[in-house]
Structure 1
Amino acid sequence: MTLNLTTPGLLFPAISLLLLAYTNRFLGLAATIRNLYNDYRRTPDPQIAQQISSLRRRVRLIQQMQVAGVGSLFLCVLAMLKIYLGLQTLAYYSFGASLALMMLSLALSLIELKLSSDALNILLADLAAPPRRRQAQKNAP
């Protein structure tokens, strides 16, 4: 199979959209962390501290997703350069590594999505609790 310039070029829009989505996730988390931080400064609450800790893990995952995505784009461009220079074998390896990094980025995205869903389910479980239990939780020291 011959690898030509258009094959790695097909990944450019996909990688760009992934990086945009990851950046939006990061910005959303950053805003949430800032709001929780301000709430915690006003009224220290261990539950808020736990939420911030969980969000910190998610931010690290998003950073890793972005690094893998940028690495994928870099290797994709490198594969195109190697094709241009006539280094087909090296181009195959670069393109393969680019695909592997894209898969890693997507796998990290799934892990982050799972953490996000778990956090939301914890909050929703509190809303589903009977009214007396919620009132007791509010009055607890």
Structure 2
Amino acid sequence: MEITLTTPALLFPALSLLLLAFTNRFMSLAKLIRDLKHIYKTNQSHLIYGQIQNLRTRLILIRNMQAVGIASMFSCVLCMFMVYAGWQTAGKIVFGAGLVLLMVSMALSLWEIQISVRALELELSDLEHKEDASPTRASS
């Protein structure tokens, strides 16, 4: 297989969009953590503390997703340099490493999404449990 300068460059748009999505997730989590911390300081709820712990795990995953995604982009740039310098074999190896890093980043993203969905399911089950127990519901 022959790698040209344009081969690793094809990943730049995908990597840029992934990093933008990861950054947006990070910013949303950061705001949510700040809001929940403020709420926790006022009422010391065990439920709020548990949510903050869940968000801490997700925050670590997002940080790792971003770091591995950036390493993937760096690998693509390094591959382009190696191909430009005429080091085809090294360029192929580095490009392969960049693809593996991209897969790791997406796997971490999937893991973070699963944690997020589980947390939302717990919130919804708590809401459904309260709705089933409400007196207006029983009289209908």
TM-score band, normalised by the shorter chain?
over 0.9
Q: Map 1:110-121 onto structure 2 (within 5 A).
A: 110-121=110-121
Aligned-partner residue type, residue 21 of structure 2: A
Q: What does the per-residue CA deviation read over 1:87-113, in whole Å, with 9 as the maximum and x for residues that have no partner?
A: 000000100000000000000000000
Q: The residue matched to 1:129 in structure 2 has which SS?
A: helix
Size of the aligned set, in residue pairs, is 135
C-alpha separation in 2, matches of 1:33 and 1:67: 21
C-alpha separation in 2, matches of 1:29 and 1:58: 8
| TM-score calculated relative to the size of structure 1 | 0.92
Structure 1: stretches of 5+ with no match in the other structure: 136-141
Structure 1 residue 5 displacement after superposition: 0.5
Aligned-partner residue type, residue 111 of structure 1: W
C-alpha separation in 1, matches of 2:29 and 2:16: 20
Give the structure 1 partner of residue 47 of structure 2: 47
Q: What does the per-residue CA deviation read over 1:106-128, in whole Å, with 9 as the maximum and x for residues that have no partner?
A: 00000000000000000000111
Give the structure 2 partner of residue 138 of structure 1: none
Q: Map 1:119-134 onto structure 2 (within 5 A).
A: 119-131=119-131, 133=133
Structure 1 runs, 4 residues or longer, greater than 2 Å off? 130-135
Q: Aligned residues: percent identity?
A: 48
Aligned-partner residue type, residue 122 of structure 1: L
Q: Map 1:1-141 onto structure 2 (within 5 A).
A: 1-131=1-131, 133=133
Pairwise CA RMSD of aligned residues? 1.3
C-alpha separation in 2, matches of 1:41 and 1:101: 39
Aligned-partner residue type, residue 67 of structure 2: V
| TM-score calculated relative to the size of structure 2 | 0.93
C-alpha separation in 1, matches of 2:131 and 2:107: 39
Q: What does the per-residue CA deviation read over 1:36-75, in whole Å, with 9 as the maximum and x for residues that have no partner?
A: 0000011111111110001000000000000100000000
Structure 1 residue 129 displacement after superposition: 1.1
Structure 2: stretches of 5+ with no match in the other structure: 136-140
Structure 1 residue 131 displacement after superposition: 3.8
C-alpha separation in 2, matches of 1:134 and 1:124: 15
